[in-house]
Structure 1
């Protein structure tokens, strides 16, 4: 079996549009949540979101391309551009059929759908853009990255709601581990802060009604009342270890395990006993050849919804047993909001940086203890810590669970 390492990373996010800025904000515990500016939210119950700021799509696209490219694809392509630049290789030494692109989106071009449907109602079917379908579909970020890079290996887009990009990274890991690919561009992207999308999530009681950006995304806090919609993209370059070493690549961390399970329980609620998510963590550790007590840090799914956080707490206890009381747990959605299909990749990036630099992020904004979320939830802020093993959890509507196990790289 091949060892798989992370050699490049790129990000577009509410806390920064490059790795250095985003990581500085993680270390500082500085969130990216503010009052909604993308539409007039005066009549909405939802007042705040985690929007991307100062995004420049022209770093990754020609101006003429933008009119046929949804924002989620623009986020993905810019993050991929950064990641490839960061990894220091264009992989021209490899067979292009050995380089994959596995990049997903939970919702795809939601903003395009909203705009084109309004045009349809107002002006009729003939005015709907001929680019609408390729802009909207959830696989187009993966397709666009492949077209622009020339990478011809496995190219697909997982769609598992909020677990999407964790599954993408896991599938990329397995493709390299088992010898189908030598390298892969992987991750996810989302751009769904729109009036229509917010209304849908709000009406299903998923979103916070807080009008205080500092107390809106508060995972594990007793006063949490829903998640904060975020947006952005996270892309990682995964590479077979020997190829990375041969070219002198910088290695952020190693991916050593991946667990994927289903709750088979409910369309939106996690399993109240945490069985599926717990098993996913156990499978990731089993593949890594590690034990529960080896885990130093868990980047929790931690959405700040009443159900997720208490059920994920049960899942962590189920997975780790007695070791659960000692492991450091935090949710960086307190900083980024919930990036839906991009969340898993962004959180894997944060885990990789945590392992590289020896720093565990805190769960920002926390004030009120909840006895149903009684883990070591890093509620006093982040701290320097020598960590060797991290788990990153992602859980999606429909009962989709994915856990990635990352390890500090060592020869």
Structure 2
């Protein structure tokens, strides 16, 4: 990058996921090959083909690392928000604590951006409101009904809770939203609108209606109901659809100058961001992965490096036949014979939709920090299109890495790719 372009570093990370809460715990679980995909209650999915999902464990089921909203959110406030907002607030606290960021002055507050994406927003609250209206009448709706599910209210609640008065945004670009939130926040810093930002994504859309809708589109896995941990199998020949997940992944990014001036410790550097549109189909990308390739290419070009310098890709790969093939084609076209190490962590978490880009950016940062590529679980028989490609299957692999990509692609033909660099 040119000397006139502000360098952006990551200084904090926070996560709520199907593997539990807390970056270190989740990362170690991922490296150990654990899965957060479980069987859903029969009441929820009795008449739905897909019967598994990546659900965030509660504090009751996992006292050490389960989700405990009351540790962060007053009970009175919880009545005003959908679960995706709760996830964002808990992940935000962890990220901000690690970054050591709590703006004290008005100037600091006004230079702090909040960009938190979601793919769907408060889906459960919308569905519950419809049920209440139909069964009990409109007068029984809470005055907090609308703000409980609005897509921008994760960013809104976090901004209010922490006094962030700078730019605020909420990308709603399906499964690319989390990655785009990080890229958009970086642009705000580079343009001079903010010095520091909390960004990423949050999602909590595991509901009968969403499961039934995705199942109707034949997008969800239905062949592994009795083996939930085997259902999400990106790049595997026997994959039959994605597994829904939920959670939040948020990071703190800031200009390198600002971070060093306040004594923060950089965890990684965000050196490139690329985004593109397929202009092809509502729910499927082109077979050649042209849009995905261009997003990665833009991120690499923005960083001023070459494809041969990229060591690792945390792929978007969701475990669908069409999507995984398109991404493999994009990688093969862009990287040629370069043996970039490819993995999909959705094999362990399921697909967190608008939150995927946030948690997968965290996994990519951790891979660079620890110099180890997490495994793609259930990858026993690689797709024939992956022949000659460097897929990291079944077990984590130690590897020297300097640059790594994190991809996010979504319905509507939206593609996003983040390029991260190891901090040394």
SS of structure 1 residue aligned to 2:15: strand
Unaligned runs of 5+ in 2: 59-66
Q: Cα deviation per residue 1:184-237 (whole Å; 9 max; x = unaligned)?
A: 000110001111110011101110002111320000000000000000001100
Residue 264 of structure 2 corresponds to 249
TM-score by length of 1: 0.97
SS at match of 2:44: coil
1:95 match: secondary structure = helix
Give CA deviations for 1:92-115 in whole Å, capped at 9, x if unaligned: 365322110001111000010111
1:370 corresponds to which residue? Answer: 383
Aligned pair partner of 1:56 in 65, 68, 85: 68
**Contact 1:270 / 1:399 at 8 angstroms: preserved in 2?**
yes
Pair 1:111 & 2:124 matched: yes
Rounded Cα–Cα distance in structure 2 between residues aligned with 1:38 and 1:214? 17
Tell me which residue corresponds to 1:26. Answer: 30
Q: Do structure 1's residue 305 and structure 2's residue 320 form an aligned pair?
A: yes
Matched residues in 1 for 2:101 and 2:290: separation?
41
Q: Which residue of structure 1 lines up, in the alignment, with residue 285 of structure 2? A: 270
1:149 and 2:162 equivalent? yes
How many Å separate the matches in 1 of 2:33 and 2:192?
A: 39
2:98 is the counterpart of 1:86: yes
Mapped to 2, the partners of 1:35 and 1:278 lie a distance apart of 35
- Aligned twin of 1:166: 179
Distance in 1, matches of 2:207 and 2:45, equals 10
Q: Distance in 2 between the 1:356 and 1:83 partners?
A: 16
* Structure-2 separation of matches of 1:57 and 1:74: 6
Matched with 1:382 is: 396
Contact 1:165 1:187 in 2 (8 A): yes
Corresponding residue number in structure 1 for 2:63: none
Task: Return the offset for 1:59.
Answer: 2.0
- Residues 186-335 of structure 1 aligned to structure 2 (within 5 Å): 186-209=199-222, 210-211=224-225, 212-323=227-338, 326-335=339-348
CA contact (8 A) 1:8 1:236 kept: yes
Equivalent-residue separation in structure 2 for 1:158 and 1:281 (angstroms): 19
Q: CA deviation at 1:129?
A: 2.1
- The size of the alignment, in residue pairs, is 408
Counterpart contact for 1:39–1:195, Cα < 8 Å: no
**How many angstroms apart in 2 are the aligned matches of 1:314 and 1:347?**
21
Task: Give 1:302 deviation, angstroms.
Answer: 0.7
Q: Which residue of 2 is the match for residue 71 of structure 1?
A: 83
> 3-state SS of the aligned residue for 1:40?
helix
Q: Deviations over 1:223-255 (max 9, x none)?
A: 000000000001100011122122322221000
Between the aligned partners of 1:223 and 1:306, the Cα distance in structure 2 is: 9
Displacement over 6 Å in runs of 4+ = none
Q: Following the alignment from structure 1 to structure 2, what is the Cα–Cα distance between the partners of residues 272 and 91?
A: 47
Q: Secondary structure at the match of 2:9?
A: strand
CA contact (8 A) 1:293 1:320 kept: yes
Counterparts of 2:242 and 2:33 in 1: how far apart (Å)? 18
Matched, 1:400 2:414: yes
TM-score w.r.t. the length of structure 2 is 0.94
Contact 2:113 2:197 in 1 (8 A): yes
Q: 2-side partners of 1:369 and 1:386: how far apart? A: 24
Counterpart-to-counterpart distance in 2, 1:342 and 1:92: 29
Measured after TM superposition, the shift of residue 386 of structure 1 is 1.4
Confirm or deny: 8 A CA contact 1:38 1:193 kept in the other structure: no
For residue 366 of structure 1, report the CA deviation from its aligned partner. 1.4
Moved more, 114-123 or 374-383: 374-383
CA distance in 2, matches of 1:331, 1:38: 29
Q: Displacement, 1:38?
A: 9.0
- Where structure 1 has 5 or more consecutive residues not aligned to the other structure, the ranges are none
Are the aligned partners of 2:99 and 2:265 in contact in 1 as well (CA < 8 Å)?
A: yes
1:251-294 Cα offsets, whole Å, 9 max, x none, are 21000000010000000001211111100000000000010000
